[in-house]
Amino acid sequence: MSNADGSIDVSEIGELTPPDRTLMGPGPSDVNPRVLRAMSTPLVGHLDPSFVEIMNEVQELLRYTFRTDNQWTIPVSGTGSAAMEAAIGNVVEPGDTMLVPTNGYFGGRMASMARRAGGEVVEVDAPWGEPLEPADVSDALAEHDPDVFGFVHAETSTGVLQPDVPELTAAAHDHDALVIADTVTSIGGVELRVDEWDIDVAYAGPQKCLSCPPGASPLTLSDTAMEKVLSREEEPRSWYLDLSLLEGYWGDDRSYHHTAPITNVYAIREALRLVAEEGIEARWDRHERLAGALKAGMEGMGLEMNAPDEYWLPSLNAVRVPDGIDDGEVCAELLERYDLEVASGLGDLDGEIFRIGCMGYSARPENVIYVVTALGDVLESMGADVDPGAGVSATRDAL
Q: How many domains does the chain have?
A: 2
Please write the tens of the pLDDT for every residue from 95-148. Answer: 999 999 999 999 999 999 999 999 999 999 999 999 999 999 999 999 999 999
Q: Kindly state whether residues 349 and 317 are assigned to the same domain.
A: yes
CA gap 25, 257 in Å, rounded:
35
Which range of residues forms the domain containing residue 146?
33-277
What is the per-residue pLDDT for 9? Answer: 86
What is the per-residue pLDDT for 1? Answer: 60
Q: Kindly state whether residues 96 and 126 are assigned to the same domain.
A: yes
Q: Kindly state whether residues 251 and 360 are assigned to the same domain.
A: no
CA gap 200, 180 in Å, rounded:
6
Q: Within 13 A of 284's CA, how many CA atoms are on the CB side?
A: 11
What is the per-residue pLDDT for 170? Answer: 98
What is the per-residue pLDDT for 7? Answer: 86
Q: Kindly state whether residues 309 and 258 are assigned to the same domain.
A: no
Q: Is 345 exposed, middle or buried (0-12, 13-18, 19+ CB in 10 A)?
A: buried
Q: Within a domain: residue 85?
A: yes
CATH classification at residue 296:
3.90.1150.10
Q: Kindly state whether residues 158 and 306 are assigned to the same domain.
A: no
Rg of the Cα trace of the chain?
A: 22
CA gap 155, 219 in Å, rounded:
18
What is the per-residue pLDDT for 2? Answer: 67
The answer for 291, left when phi > 0, alpha when psi is -120 to 50, beta otherwise, is alpha
Q: Which of 239-250 are b and which e, b meaning 16 or more Cβ less than 10 Å from the residue's Cβ?
A: eebbbebbbebb
Q: Kindly state whether residues 268 and 334 are assigned to the same domain.
A: no
Q: Which residues of the chain have pLDDT under 50?
A: none
Q: Within a domain: residue 179?
A: yes
Q: Kindly state whether residues 237 and 296 are assigned to the same domain.
A: no
